[in-house]
Amino acid sequence: MSDYRFSEKNVNAITTNNGSAYVFLYDGSVYRLDENKAAKQVISAKQGAEITLKMGRWCAYPKWFMEKLAERRDLTIKLQFEYLHQQYEVMIPADTKIDTECDWYGPLKICSLYSYSVK
């Protein structure tokens, strides 16, 4: 994989296959996220836990992933990802309603819904 950092502007396509999502960039780079690993972390977390999902350069989430988060509103969830060369952390406190209306949630959408910080 290249060291190129992607944003919504240079993404050509996003597809899913066998529990992984792939981002294809206009420059030919491809990024892969094993969504099952993150989903398993959410599903297997202890009641009332605070979990941190370190997503690396992955900053877009499919509807089914957000639905998994919505099923576990006993958890406090931190999503950490890189967007436009900066590190973001989105905090979703327990009992916060999770939006599941969109097909995909990019970094700007996630940040508009929940509190976040940039490091």
| pLDDT tens, residue by residue, 27-41 | 666 666 555 677 778
pLDDT of residue 84: 87
pLDDT of residue 1: 34
Q: What are 19's two structure tokens?
A: 């529990």
Q: What are 86's two structure tokens?
A: 């900066």
Residue 49 amino acid letter: A
Judge if pTM exceeds 0.75.
no
Low-confidence stretches of the chain (pLDDT < 50) are 1-6
Contacts of 13 (CB under 8 A, 6+ apart): 23, 24
Task: Report the largest interatomic distance among the alpha carbons of the chain, rounded to a whole angstrom.
Answer: 43
pLDDT of residue 22: 67
